[in-house]
Amino acid sequence: MTPFLLSAPLIVNWTLSFRCNFGCNHCYSRVEDAGGELPTDQVKSIMNTLASKKVAFINFGGGEPLLRNDLFELAGYANRLGFKVSMNTNGWLMDELRAASSKTAGFETVGVSIDSHRSEVHDGFRNMPGSFERAVGAVRLLRENGVRVTMSSVICRVNADGFERLVDLAESFGVEQIFLHNYKCAGMGMTNRDELDLSPPEWKAFYTKATAVKAGRRGIRISMDDPITATINGAEAESPLVKGSTCGKLSLNIRANGDVTPCGFIPVPIGNLLRDDFDSIWRGSAVLGKLRNKEPKAKCLKCKHYADCLGGCSARAYAATGDFESPDPHCWFEPA
């Protein structure tokens, strides 16, 4: 039996659209079957269901959420239902009107993706010349309009060595929080894994240094939500309510067509909120049950850290092996 299960997820990550104006080298959604997008009224209907279940947060991602013409209408509706609403954007489409609309619609925070302090590196990683300057401009416009801004950076070979400069950049913008996201092996992330992903020893070196940097910074919050940091001294869990991955425990993902998956990086539909009962999905899904009750395999069987990390990131394990319970391929720890 699951020792701890909320009546509903705290947060729902919602891919309103798989459409995007970029072609990023690591993107999980470039190989997804879009399956169509829901019209405004059906999105609102699902929001009503989530509100009745007391879900607290909705985060709009993608794809690029600003490509939805009804984004601000949907955000305003979610806000009136009582949700804390956020989104992640590449920043390209953020202009004065959209920045003002973000404030009016009630976005709690807007996360802007910037993957290097060097414009040419960011532009190359995102396959969009000029995207660095547009992202920087988005941060400025949002802050000028009174919107809380966070910065998101996907750690990989293009920026792992210089991640402190990313933190410096975020601080120079007045950004209150930077997310150093671990590289996911899904979609284009798997296709380009050999070129972009770090080796397990390199991940250990990165997290060891990043943990020290995090402890020494006072002007900005540095977040690294990766369960394999359980082996690093001083690395505190970002989600202390649960051990291991949070997907299916504290969070769920909704696709553009209403399908539910455990997270955006696990392409396994477990229901559809236009057809299926929410409680049947949340409480009855065999896939979620597997994620909540993982059993150690291979080297995890003898690992003293398993109780804290529960095998690491379930999405990476599934992408690499097809098995949620396999050890995280990023894990560097070798039991004696």
- Tens of each residue's pLDDT in the chain, 336 residues: 345 689 999 999 999 998 888 878 777 666 666 568 999 999 999 999 999 999 999 999 988 999 999 999 999 999 999 999 999 999 999 999 999 999 999 999 999 999 999 999 999 989 899 999 999 999 999 999 999 999 999 999 999 999 999 999 999 999 989 999 998 877 777 778 888 899 999 999 999 999 999 999 988 999 998 999 988 877 766 767 888 999 999 999 999 999 999 999 899 999 999 999 999 999 999 999 999 999 999 999 999 999 999 999 999 999 889 999 999 999 999 987
- What local confidence, expressed as pLDDT, does residue 1 receive? 39
- What local confidence, expressed as pLDDT, does residue 35 receive? 66
CB 293 within 8 A of CB 323: no
DSSP run (H or E) holding 11: strand 11-15
- What local confidence, expressed as pLDDT, does residue 323 receive? 95
| Residue among 227, 239, 242 at smallest CA distance from 303 | 227
How many C-beta atoms surround the C-beta of residue 117 within 10 A? 20
Q: Is the dihedral of CA 228, 230, 234, 238 positive or negative?
A: positive
Q: What angle do CA 247, 317, 270 make, to 5 degrees?
A: 45
- Give 16: exposed, middle or buried? Use CB within 10 Å, 0-12, 13-18, 19+: buried
Q: In one letter, which amino acid is 146?
A: G
- What local confidence, expressed as pLDDT, does residue 2 receive? 45
- What local confidence, expressed as pLDDT, does residue 66 receive? 97
- What local confidence, expressed as pLDDT, does residue 3 receive? 52
CB 330 within 8 A of CB 203: yes
Structure token pair of residue 179: 């997310």
- What local confidence, expressed as pLDDT, does residue 90 receive? 94
Q: What angle do CA 309, 312, 317 make, to 5 degrees?
A: 155
| Alpha helix (H) residue ranges in the chain | 40-52, 71-81, 96-105, 119-126, 131-144, 163-173, 188-191, 193-196, 200-216, 278-284, 286-292, 306-309, 314-321
Residue 260 three-state SS? strand
Q: Specify the residue for token string 């989600």.
A: 239
> Alpha carbon 27 to chain centroid distance?
12
Residue 146 backbone dihedrals phi, psi, to 5 degrees: 80, 20
Structure token pair of residue 277: 């009962």
